[in-house]
Structure 1
Amino acid sequence: MNQQQSMKPIKFPAGFWTGLEQLGIAPQDVARQAGLPLTIITQVKVSAAEYFALWQAYSDLIGDIARGIIGLVTAFETSQYPPDALATYHARDYRDALNRMARYKQMCPPERLLITEKGEECTIELQWQETEEPGPAVLTGITLAYLLELGRRGTGQTLTALGAEFTQPMGDEEALERYFGCPVRTGAAKNRLILRRRDLDLPFVTYNAELLELLTPVLERTLDEQAGRRSFTGTVKWIIKQSLMGGRYDIQTVARELKLSERTLQRRLTDEGTSFKQLLAQARHEQAKAYLADPLLDIHEVACLVGYEDQNSFYRAFRSWEGDTPAHWRAEHAGF
């Protein structure tokens, strides 16, 4: 069996079709170019083969890969992104947004983003999940270009990259260099975007804590929380829940949010008869049940949303909480 055929279905962003129309390209022309039925335009999920075929068809129709990258990235309306990804535009700062995007990509194959901060640089490497076959060059370029676009839209500043590297030819490299504001290298060993690490600290002018909470799926709040009367323990748990999607939910992050030292945070939790480890487990447990109540979320997506890097770890944790598997628990509690 072809590797692409064996991959899980991929959620396809409706904003892709809107972006095409803004560029003067009819969605039906892309579907026909890809050799797919017109009903593909209305599908929420597509196969990996269909996903790659649509991106390649778009690239073929627009003529030049670089033109296709820049055109769609700048035309794509943020409001058309799925809620999980839209939340990145309302993150606290560029670092938070990138981590949220990496988490979103992790649960939405085939793209996977690996973020490394070292020295004065932040390197974001694009890998392909569940397949060794590289995606179309235009998809690679758009994925990395959109990370820079995310920073530009969020900070309101014309940020530039330090470097952009691609394994495949990318068409008009001069146009890409003007867009990224840096040298563009093709024929590289990896697909990577290199940013200035200091830019990650830039706050987002689009930061909206209340909207972020609404956009991050099923973030539970108690009546006391809604009334703004959280206990200290409740506040810590709420921050953990807010942070799970972004993948930064360690005690250092929570202490920084509360403007406390780690030692003070631990002491206050001990005084209230709990610990950070216990609250993290509780937050994951509560969020997991809430996410499992949504039939549109796959179990591997739920695992990512509550901070587990692999599905097996999530299964073990869930069994320790409920004495049951996530799939069986979902079936038993469907419709509650």
Structure 2
Amino acid sequence: MSSFGLVPALAESQAGDVLEATDNVLLPQSVLRHAVGAGLKPRQLAAATGLPSWSLSGAEEYRVPSTGYLRTWEVVEHGLGDPNAAIEIAKRYVLGQVGLYDYLFSTAPTLGAGLEACGTYLGAITTNFRMAPGLETEQEVTFEISMINGEGRGRELAAQWGLAAIFTRSRLIMDGPVNPVRIAFEQQAPRNHDQLVELFGTTEIDFGAPSDSITVSVADLARPLRTADARLAEILHQHAARTQPVAPPHASTWLDHLAGIISTALDENSAGIDAVAARMYLSRRSLQRRLSEHGTTWRTELERVRRARYETADASLGRSGQAVLLGYKDHRSARRAVKRWDR
């Protein structure tokens, strides 16, 4: 079993420079489509996640920053009001929803070979994770799954879905049930994890572990997959080897995303903190906490956006026009702000 491969933690340029971790757009699509099906609005979701507008329909060749994918989990959980969102989405797994990565797995001869392909070509779906074999005995093998960049609730939900998808995918193309021997999560135990027990098919679920991991019996790893196709697998492996990893797009920060939301809100005369928090699928308190984590405040960021709009505005814009552009109720407030910036 020692042949299971480690994939690079991050995409690298030819010069060796470490680039931003990225995910195949099919990952956030899996989450967003569930949310839309549950009644959330696509345009609002795209704005709240900070992902490009084409994220719901982009082809497999497109990549998005991993921060955007993790943010998608936070937005969807908040929008649905469901702490088990990752579990519910994993239950509805459809073979092929993550494209090439699914077919690298499904064309393998056995479960073990499928997991090996997933470890070797993990870059086809994400450069933000590693999957590698850990402790190995005659009866079982543990696979450790680590995330390179990520924190908070988005990380927790992505980990739940990622580990669950290994088994929901496997059950679609194997005869008879397949369940892990054990599951371990870095995250702390939720108040109730009955749904995780039901999904994984085991009560052996540990929380607060050193790393996320799955343990599978050697007997299960040797079980065949109904969809095995040696010739197609060879073609897919060659394609995956040529196309991964993909160079990531230009990086943007969470504060840049917030600035875009504030600017849109100013255009619509709704730039209060509560309204902006709602656009980001956050509570007022959560937005303030995120601002504090970035060493800033709501007032500071609102001022920053207003000043940027003023500095790029038409010089012939009058006081009343400036007040509208900057989201002030009267031109006197706008005049005071302009004087402050022009000092």
- Under a length normalisation based on structure 2, what TM-score does the superposition of the two structures give? 0.56
Alignment partner of 2:115 out of 92, 95, 98: 98
Q: Deviations over 1:74-130 (max 9, x none)?
A: 22321222224322112100000101111222563101111233231221211123x
| Map of 2:80 onto structure 1 | 62
1:161·1:182 contact (CA, 8 Å) conserved in 2? Answer: yes
Residue 155 (structure 1) aligned with residue 170 (structure 2): no
What is the rounded CA distance, in whole Å, between the counterparts of 1:205 and 1:29 in structure 2? 41
Deviations for 1:231-271, whole angstroms, at most 9, x for unmatched residues? xxxxxxxxxxxxxx7xxxxxxxxxxxxxxxxxxxxxxxxxx
Per-residue deviation at 1:160? Answer: 1.6
Note if contact 1:166-1:192 (Cα within 8 Å) is conserved in structure 2. yes
Residues 103 and 30 (structure 1), Cα distance of their counterparts in 2 relative to 1, 3 Å cut: farther
Is 1:85 the counterpart of 2:102? The answer is: yes
C-alpha deviations, 1:4-38, integer Å up to 9, x for none?
Answer: x9514332214444444555555444324325553
What is the aligned partner in structure 2 of residue 41 from structure 1?
56
- Between structure 1 and structure 2, the one with the greater Rg is 2
| Equivalent residue number for residue 115 of structure 1 | 133
Picking from 177, 201, 210, the partner of 1:181 is 201
1:189 Cα deviation from its structure 2 partner: 2.1
- Does residue 201 of the first structure (1) align with residue 214 of the second (2)? no
Residues 50, 68 of structure 2: 8 Å contact kept: no
Instruction: Pick closer, same or farther for the CA change 1:35–1:298 going to 2, 3 Å.
Output: closer
Secondary structure of the structure 2 residue equivalent to 1:136:
helix
Distance 1:25 1:202 in 2: 40
Which amino acid in the other structure matches residue 205 of structure 1? Answer: R
**1:124 is aligned to 2:139:** no
Match of 2:46 among 28, 31, 37: 31
Opposite residue 109 of structure 1, the aligned amino acid is T
Cα pair distance change 1:164/1:25, threshold 3 Å? farther
Identical pairs, percent: 19
Distance 1:104-1:76 versus aligned 2 partners, 3 A rule: same
Greater RCO, CA 8 A, separation 6+: 2
Q: Tell me how large the CA RMSD over aligned residues is.
A: 3.1
**Larger helix proportion, structure 1 or 2?**
1
CA contact (8 A) 2:87 2:199 kept: yes
Distance 1:38 1:170, change over 3 A: farther
Distance in 2 between the 1:7 and 1:37 partners? Answer: 17
Q: How far is 1:208 from its partner?
A: 2.2
2:158 aligned to which of 128, 135, 139: 139
- Counterpart secondary structure, 2:113: helix
The 5-angstrom pairing of residues 294-333 of structure 1 reads: 298=246
Q: Distance in 1 between matches of 2:189 and 2:36?
A: 23
Report how far residue 211 of structure 1 moved.
Answer: 3.5
Tell me, yes or no, if the aligned pair for 1:12 and 1:46 is still in contact at 8 Å.
yes
Aligned equivalents of 1:122, 1:106: Cα separation in 2: 22
Counterpart position of 1:72: 89
Aligned partners of 1:169, 1:6: CA distance in 2, in Å?
30
Is contact 2:93–2:168 with CA below 8 Å preserved after alignment?
no
Change in CA separation of 1:8 and 1:27 when aligned onto 2, cut-off 3 Å: same
Q: Which residue identity does 1:158 align to in structure 2?
A: P
Q: If the length of structure 1 is used for normalisation, what is the TM-score?
A: 0.57
Distance, in Å, in 2 between the alignment partners of 1:27 and 1:96 is 38
- The residue type equivalent to 1:76 in the other structure is Y
CA separation of 1:26 and 1:209: change in aligned 2, threshold 3 A: farther
SS in 2 for 1:125: strand
* Stretches of structure 2 lacking an aligned partner (at least 5 in a row): 1-9, 11-17, 249-343
**Aligned-partner residue type, residue 112 of structure 1:** R
Shift of 1:212: 2.8
Q: Is the 8 A contact 1:85 1:104 kept in 2?
A: no
- Specify every segment of 5 or more residues in structure 1 that has no aligned partner in the other structure, as ranges: 219-244, 246-287, 301-336
Letter matched to residue 20 of structure 2: M
Q: Deviations over 1:205-233 (max 9, x none)?
A: 12123433444444xxxxxxxxxxxxxxx
Corresponding pairs, count: 222
CA distance in 2: counterparts of 1:159 and 1:11, whole angstroms? 27
1:125-174, CA deviations, whole angstroms, 9 ceiling, x for partnerless residues?
11123x37475211001111111223222213221222211121464401
Shift of residue 200, structure 1, vs aligned partner = 0.2
Q: Give the SS at the match of 1:100.
A: helix
Distance 1:151 1:91, change over 3 A: same
Q: Which amino acid aligns with 2:139?
A: E
SS in 1 for 2:176: coil
Residue 29 of structure 2 is aligned to residue 11 of structure 1: no
